């Protein structure tokens, strides 16, 4: 068992053990990747303010997200093709999250279906929807999520069309992969991935194949969904979808205070300040830079969370100190999954919780609810 001390350790193992096509799919941003890079480099510009001689006993990272008790305010973000990083990846991630006591979100574009994940995990999870033009599909998938006991719906609002990621085009990304010579050569050193994958039947997009007529050929699926994403999505349609669901809703992918106002107006229970991990609008600002403005605009009316760029507990602390009530992580747990499967996701969560706990203590804070702007040193003109 390798010694894991930080998310970077998991990232290195992920790269070593997972087919290049899927590692690249996770570890890339759109076009020039400026936003992808700045998501992490902007966090690094914010420094923590050390406080000494403060009683640090009785600390806790526990908090709530949407009224649910969590071991720390960190949820697993929806990530498409998680079941290609490791066989049954969504089930493994959901189980690790449930045992750890944090929420897991299942993507529309997952390999394991909603029903598969529900059957293999004890805790309720959240379901993320990409709205398609086909309202019948939207309705049916919401019914399935409800029947599976999903406790909240995440509506992703920043992907009416797909941002271009160069590596995916160059690698000829498909799920499952087509066994071309370069893919086979790559798999020669990653045979464990192949054996696990052969051992599962879940190798196709479980939420879609077999549930939508005309998608019996899974290799056509990504182009099919790209065609079907709802480019006409607007606030009325979002509101209709929220009514169709009838339960708690999180709107994910907001970067602008006016959009946050609209999200609060339509009654979102939470919003996620997010640029989709730098995978959509290249050139957009990092989430952490726009967070305070959005908290100031709507923080009293809805829970404001953040994702994009979180790779450590220190990053979580910074987001919470700037007013986020919680965060989501994407790549940080995907690296864990690709590195070591379910124990890798647990390792990623352990690393982040320990870093958050230690950094809180050294900042002189004992409760996440007490974190505030004064815990940080932010360069002039940063926001």
Assess 308 for contact with ligand FNR (CB under 6 A).
yes
Number of residues that bind ligand FNR (CB under 6 A): 24
Asked whether 72 and 310 are in contact (CB, 8 A), the reply is no
Give the x-and-dash track for 234-273 against ligand FNR (CB under 6 A): ------------------x---------------------
Q: Per rule CB under 6 A, is residue 84 in the interface with ligand FNR?
A: no
Q: Which is nearer to ligand FNR, 327 or 371 (CB)?
A: 327
**Binding to ligand FNR, residues 3-42 (CB under 6 A):** 25-26, 39
Cβ-contact 83, 337 below 8 angstroms = no
Query: In angstroms, rounded to a whole number, what is the distance separating the alpha carbons of residues 190 and 185?
Result: 9
Residue 276 interacts with ligand FNR (CB under 6 A): yes or no: yes
86 has binding-site annotation: no
Residue 107 annotated as binding? yes
CA dist 125 and 159 (Å) reads: 22
Query: Of residues 143-162, which lie at the interface with ligand FNR (CB under 6 A)?
Result: 156
Residue number with CB closer to ligand FNR (36 or 346)? 36
142 binds ligand FNR (CB under 6 A): no
Give the residue, chosen from 19, 73, 80, 299, that forms a contact with ligand FNR under the rule CB under 6 A: 80
Q: Give least dist CB 308 to ligand FNR, A.
A: 4
Residues 327-356: x/- map of binding to ligand FNR (CB under 6 A)?
Answer: --xxxx------------------------
The least CB distance from residue 370 to ligand FNR, in Å, is: 25
Residues 6+ apart with CB under 8 A from 369: 63
To the question of whether residue 301 is assigned a binding role by annotation, the answer is no
Contact string 96-115 vs ligand FNR (x = CB under 6 A): -----------x-x------
CB of 157 to ligand FNR, least distance (A): 9
* Residue 79 C-beta: closest distance to ligand FNR, Å: 4
The binder of ligand FNR chosen from 131, 274, 286, 314 (CB under 6 A)? 274
120 is a catalytic site residue: no
- Closest of 32, 29, 105, 101 to residue 70, by C-alpha: 101
User: Should residue 205 be labelled a site residue for ligand FNR when binding is judged by CB under 6 A?
Assistant: no
Residue with nearest beta carbon to ligand FNR: 330
- Reduce the secondary structure of the chain to three states and give it as a string: CCCCCCHHHHHHHHHHHCCHHHHHHHCCCCCCCHHHHHHHHHHHHCEECCCCCCCCCCCECCEEECCEEECCCEEECCCCCHHHHCCCHHHHHHHHHHHHCCCEEECCCCCCCHHHHHHHCCCCCEEEECCECCHHHHHHHHHHHHHCCCCEEEEECCCCCCCCCHHHHHHCCCCCCCCCHHHHHHHCCCHHHHHHHHCCCCCCCCCCCCCCCCCCCHHHHHHHHHHHECCCCCHHHHHHHHHHHCCCEEEEEECCHHHHHHHHHCCCCEEEECCHHHCCCCCCCCHHHHHHHHHHHHCCCCEEEECCCCCCHHHHHHHHHCCCCEEEECHHHHHHHHHHCHHHHHHHHHHHHHHHHHHHHHCCCCEHHHCCHHHEECCCCCC
Nearer to ligand FNR, 329 or 340 (CB): 329
Instruction: Please pick, among 166, 211, 276, 335, the residue that the annotation labels catalytic.
Output: 276
- The residue (of 346 and 365) whose beta carbon lies closer to ligand FNR is 346
Is residue 311 annotated as involved in ligand binding? Answer: yes
- Positions touching ligand FNR (CB under 6 A) are 25-26, 39, 77-80, 107, 109, 128, 156, 252, 274, 276-277, 279, 307-310, 329-332
| Residues labelled as active-site residues | 276
In the annotated binding site for glyoxylate, the residues are 25, 165, 276, 279
In the annotated binding site, the residues are 25, 78-80, 107, 128, 130, 156, 165, 252, 274, 276, 279, 307-311, 330-331
């Amino acid at each position: 068992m390798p010694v894991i001390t930080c998310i970077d350790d998991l990232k290195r193992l992920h790269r070593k053990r997972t087919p290049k096509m899927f590692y690249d799919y996770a570890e890339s941003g759109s076009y020039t990747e400026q936003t992808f890079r700045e998501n992490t480099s902007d966090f690094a510009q914010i420094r923590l303010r050390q406080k000494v001689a403060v009683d640090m006993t009785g600390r806790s990272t526990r908090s709530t997200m949407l009224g649910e008790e969590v071991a720390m305010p960190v949820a697993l973000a929806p990530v498409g093709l998680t079941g290609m990083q490791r066989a049954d990846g969504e089930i493994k991630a959901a189980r690790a999250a449930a045992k750890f006591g944090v929420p897991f979100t299942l993507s529309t574009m997952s390999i394991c279906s909603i029903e598969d994940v529900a059957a293999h995990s004890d805790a309720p999870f959240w379901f993320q929807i990409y709205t398609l033009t086909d309202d019948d599909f939207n309705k049916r998938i919401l019914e399935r999520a409800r029947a599976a006991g999903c406790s909240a719906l995440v509506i992703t609002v920043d992907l009416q069309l797909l941002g271009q990621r160069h590596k995916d085009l160059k690698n000829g990304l498909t799920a499952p992969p087509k066994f071309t010579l370069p893919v086979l050569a790559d798999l020669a050193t990653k045979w464990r991935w192949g054996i696990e994958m052969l051992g599962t039947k879940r190798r196709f997009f479980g939420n879609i194949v077999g549930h939508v007529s005309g998608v019996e050929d899974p290799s056509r699926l990504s182009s099919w969904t790209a065609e079907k994403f709802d480019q006409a999505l607007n606030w009325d349609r979002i509101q209709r979808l929220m009514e169709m669901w009838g339960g708690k809703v999180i709107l994910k992918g907001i970067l602008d205070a006016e959009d946050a106002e609209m999200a609060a107006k339509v009654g979102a229970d939470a919003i996620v300040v997010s640029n989709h991990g730098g995978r959509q609008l290249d050139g957009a600002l990092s989430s952490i830079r726009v967070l305070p403005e959005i908290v100031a605009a709507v923080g009293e009316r809805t829970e404001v969370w953040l994702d994009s760029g979180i790779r450590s507990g220190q990053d979580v602390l910074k987001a919470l100190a700037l007013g986020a009530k919680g965060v989501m992580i994407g790549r940080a747990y995907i690296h864990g999954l690709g590195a070591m499967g379910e124990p890798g996701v647990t390792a990623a969560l352990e690393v982040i919780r320990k870093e958050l706990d230690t950094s809180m203590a050294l900042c002189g804070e004992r409760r996440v609810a007490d974190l505030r702007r004064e815990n940080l040193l932010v360069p002039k003109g940063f926001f």
